[in-house]
Structure 1
Amino acid sequence: MDNKSSQNQSNNKITFLAILAVSSGFFFYFYEYILRISPSVMEDELMAKFQVGAAAFGAMSVWYYYAYTPMQLIVGTIVDKIKIKYVLSIAALLCGFGTFFISMSDSFALACTGRFLQGLGSAFAWVGIMKLASMFLPDKYFGAVSGYGSALGFLGAAAGQMTIGHVVATVGWYEVLHILAIAGIPLAIIIFTLITVGSKGRNTQEVNATAESSVIKDFFTVLKNPYIWIAGIIAELMFLPTTVFAELWGVSYFRTVYNFSIEQASNVSSMIFFGWAIGSIIVGSLSIKVRTSILLRVGSFISIFVALMMLYLPMNYYALCAACIAFGAFSSIEVLTFAMGMSVVENRLAGTAVALVNFLCMSSGMLFQGLPGKFLELAWDGAKNAEGTPIYSVSDYKQAVTIIPIALVLCFIITLFVDDKNKRIKLFSKK
């Protein structure tokens, strides 16, 4: 009886330690998403510090994606070849070091370098979570880890945008960046410790990646599959409004168009991330009984009208918050594109398929996040404030964000060519 009780306690302890180990990945994902959206709540301050306009500010932010997006093609192989506790710990330090670059440098080029380092470290966060899940948890929990991981990331973005907006208004942007930079050090220690402790008493073994020739062959097998590209393009267009607007330009848009304070604008913009968090969980549940193609069409179609309301229909503060939540919730159908990609390849290629879809998805930030800044400068009348920072008008901002409804319309059109009846993905429906 005592032996049985002792064994049960041991199993419970191991399960608890496994959860802690996987949680370390969640902590990192939460942290990196805060860094990703941090420039959005200190746009004026950073533009004044580096004496640049909206186009240059957008270009600086995009350097995050110049590192993050291409890395999606190789991070899977890296975490398979090198112990995950070393990879994620170093990645967290890179994020903190990059943030330190931005806060301490007076050089715009070095600030861009810091943003690049943030993206380089952050590139390992999502893949790291899934790697930890494969090491410490049974297969049946992978879906839950993916769904809750996505929700947690967006909650991090929402909470970060609201909190940082408040702290910037009361303490200052410089102090905020210093805190975020220093936070990378204890986070790296926590990640290393939790994974090390979680590995004790468990028969976990990190399997090396397939031989190089096999990896390359598998990659090109997935690359040649047109269905993967359709899934990735839908993901890119559906995620574009979030990466362009919510992650960077939303706060300044609401400050200018509605004359909100930085705290109010941050709160409104963060509602998009709350919507994503809620929607990710709901969509995951609906996908069990409702066909993916139907959810994609309905979500993208409704998102068009919600986006038009959010951007161009005059609303009060609370109505705008509700519209942003709705927009995030309907946009969250994007998470289904990863299942689309996995459903048309062999199980052994599922990871590569997900990586390619994620690469295409995140390319929306690399290609389009800086575009509104260029539109703003094209429409700019030359006005500046006392600090020499350019002043952009309401009409300038409304023109600059037209890329958002355009992307959603294109996304909806493409979903009309997706037919997953009988659990298959087809480019064209057969009559």
Structure 2
Amino acid sequence: MKRYSRITQLLPWLICTLGAIFYSYEYFLRITPSVMTNELMHFYHIEDGALGSLSAYYYYIYTPMQLLVGVLMDRYGPRRLLTIATLCCVVGSVLFAATHELFIAEIGRVLIGFGSAFAFVGVLKLATIWLPRKYFALFAGLATSLGMIGAIVGDNLMTEMKNALGWQETVMISAVFGVLLALAIGLFVRDKKVFDNTPKVTSGLVNFSDALQGLLKIALTPQFWIVGAIGALLYIPASVFAELWGIPYLEMHFHFSDTDAASAISLVFLGWVFGGPLYGLFSEKIHSRNIPLIVASLASTLAFIALIVPSHLPAWSVFALLFIIGFVASGQSLVFAIGKELGPIKLSGSSIAFVNMAVMLGGMLLQPILGYCLQYFNNDYHAVLMIIPIGMLLAAILSKFLLKETACRSKDVPASVYNLKVVRQHLPSS
């Protein structure tokens, strides 16, 4: 009996972790162009703007797919969708690595983006199904951290491998790992609990018509757009700087080698690894989502300005600032908890996917925009990168004045599910 009880406690976390590994894998694939900028530009005879567009093909499909992914998750559940999505990433990686044609490489990036579109929403859908509600914000931070670990591995391991083996061979090896991961997800992930001693709040899978109507209602709710905008602006240090333009910036401005630049940029992701879960715990402790978001936005703004404004910095301070930027910006993961709390629990996939769509829209637009700005301003990184702290300052303003506080509670979950002591202390005395 004890053994069965231990299994029932561990199984939800194991299932959710397996989904999070897929998110880590897709993040590994997402940042591939950032560690191969020189190789890709030389191989395809392209410049900064075209490289930004090649990288952004991932976002061109990933971002609009979020509207459909949420509906599909709510209708069909994560197991089959995550298995197929992983295989799409594998096929896209093979195309990206096996061709000499830029057009085929772009198709490969589109397929990687298509499969990756299911990853983060699928992870959080699994968390909604399998984990107690009080752990959702914590797991959102942990899942984001695992994604960042994928980025760290990508920055460092991929740099070493492409220097030793070549960039195409490196991408092919990552495709083999994807096949093994797809098998594991198909065999072990489950869409619903086989045991549950807690009161039900969710109603399981919904029909397609209801899911589409729910998505329309979400899209017409201004608060979803506001929280999505905050998430996109706070994610810029990762989506625009760390994922693409950070390595060439460090190489050009601080004269880092490609290996040193990749190691330095990985500190942004490492900071995110530690910060994401802590923001989740902090938010639950103070029963507020807005306060941590404001702190994250203001601290990120100051840290990024400290990195790009000085004309010279010692290497140790560059490394320290990159870690701090990742750590303080990781409060961004709270926007997904807010998205879940703003909508009905049964449509949690659609709610999270809509917020994720808005977040990815920032990367989709700004990666190529910064590339063309760098061309126009003759690689003046100081001027062009000021877009990033301005965006994060705007996130602080939105969090303070326009975002409504959810107090860590879902709108359609009865108060009895939560800690009543905490709820009552906010009520006026009679």
Match of 1:88 in 2: 82
User: Shift in Å at residue 177 of structure 1?
Assistant: 1.2
- 8 Å CA contact 1:20–1:194 kept in 2: the answer is no
Deviation string 1:207-230 (CA, Å, 9 cap, x unpaired) is 874334322322222222222211
Match of 2:354 in 1: 356
Question: What is the DSSP-based 3-state SS (H/G/I as helix, E as strand, rest coil) of the residue aligned with 1:288?
Answer: helix
Within 5 Å, give how 1:19-168 maps onto structure 2: 19-82=13-76, 84-168=78-162
Given candidates 262, 268, 274, the residue that maps to 2:264 is 268
The answer to which of 8-17 and 260-269 deviates more is 8-17
How many Å separate the matches in 1 of 2:4 and 2:395?
Answer: 50
Amino acid in structure 1 at the alignment position of 2:384: A
1:215 aligns with 2:211: yes
Given candidates 372, 381, 393, the residue that maps to 1:409 is 393
How many Å separate the matches in 2 of 1:226 and 1:418?
Answer: 10
1:224 aligns with 2:208: no
User: Shift in Å at residue 200 of structure 1?
Assistant: 10
In structure 2, do the counterparts of structure 1 residues 54 and 423 end up closer, same or farther at CA, with 3 Å as the change threshold? same
Question: Across the two proteins, how many residue pairs are aligned to each other?
Answer: 403
1:257 aligns with 2:262: no
- 8 Å CA contact 1:222–1:349 kept in 2: the answer is no
Amino acid in structure 1 at the alignment position of 2:99: S
Amino acid in structure 1 at the alignment position of 2:397: I
Gaps in structure 2 of 5+ consecutive residues: 197-201, 410-430
In structure 2, do the counterparts of structure 1 residues 378 and 295 end up closer, same or farther at CA, with 3 Å as the change threshold? same
- 8 Å CA contact 2:74–2:211 kept in 1: the answer is no
Question: What is the DSSP-based 3-state SS (H/G/I as helix, E as strand, rest coil) of the residue aligned with 2:401?
Answer: coil
Match of 1:388 in 2: none
Given candidates 163, 166, 170, the residue that maps to 1:172 is 166
How many Å separate the matches in 2 of 1:371 and 1:317?
Answer: 28
How many Å separate the matches in 1 of 2:296 and 2:129?
Answer: 34
In structure 2, do the counterparts of structure 1 residues 17 and 227 end up closer, same or farther at CA, with 3 Å as the change threshold? closer
Given candidates 305, 309, 330, the residue that maps to 1:308 is 305
In structure 2, do the counterparts of structure 1 residues 328 and 128 end up closer, same or farther at CA, with 3 Å as the change threshold? same
Given candidates 370, 375, 378, the residue that maps to 2:376 is 378
How many Å separate the matches in 2 of 1:22 and 1:416?
Answer: 32
In structure 2, do the counterparts of structure 1 residues 96 and 344 end up closer, same or farther at CA, with 3 Å as the change threshold? closer
How many Å separate the matches in 2 of 1:422 and 1:107?
Answer: 49
- 8 Å CA contact 1:341–1:357 kept in 2: the answer is yes
Match of 2:425 in 1: none
How many Å separate the matches in 1 of 2:83 and 2:349?
Answer: 22
Match of 2:421 in 1: none
In structure 2, do the counterparts of structure 1 residues 406 and 147 end up closer, same or farther at CA, with 3 Å as the change threshold? closer
Amino acid in structure 1 at the alignment position of 2:251: R
How many Å separate the matches in 2 of 1:97 and 1:208?
Answer: 32
How many Å separate the matches in 2 of 1:27 and 1:62?
Answer: 23
Match of 1:297 in 2: 294
- 8 Å CA contact 2:69–2:118 kept in 1: the answer is yes
The CA RMSD over aligned residues, in Å, is: 2.7
Match of 1:385 in 2: none
How many Å separate the matches in 1 of 2:316 and 2:301?
Answer: 20
% identical equivalent positions? 34
In structure 2, do the counterparts of structure 1 residues 69 and 200 end up closer, same or farther at CA, with 3 Å as the change threshold? closer
In structure 2, do the counterparts of structure 1 residues 141 and 189 end up closer, same or farther at CA, with 3 Å as the change threshold? same
Match of 1:396 in 2: 380
Question: What is the DSSP-based 3-state SS (H/G/I as helix, E as strand, rest coil) of the residue aligned with 2:364?
Answer: helix
Match of 1:367 in 2: 365
TM-score (norm 1): 0.85
How many Å separate the matches in 2 of 1:259 and 1:104?
Answer: 32
- 8 Å CA contact 1:151–1:280 kept in 2: the answer is yes
Match of 1:392 in 2: none
1:288 aligns with 2:284: yes
Deviation beyond 6 Å, 4+ runs, structure 1: 198-201
- 8 Å CA contact 1:239–1:334 kept in 2: the answer is yes
Match of 2:317 in 1: 319
How many Å separate the matches in 2 of 1:80 and 1:321?
Answer: 42
User: Shift in Å at residue 411 of structure 1?
Assistant: 2.1
Match of 1:387 in 2: none
- 8 Å CA contact 2:59–2:364 kept in 1: the answer is yes
User: Shift in Å at residue 231 of structure 1?
Assistant: 1.0
- 8 Å CA contact 2:24–2:150 kept in 1: the answer is yes
Deviation string 1:127-186 (CA, Å, 9 cap, x unpaired) is 222333344445454344322111111122123212212222333222211211222111
- 8 Å CA contact 2:160–2:259 kept in 1: the answer is yes
Gaps in structure 1 of 5+ consecutive residues: 1-6, 381-394, 426-431
The answer to which of 104-113 and 156-165 deviates more is 156-165
- 8 Å CA contact 2:69–2:121 kept in 1: the answer is yes
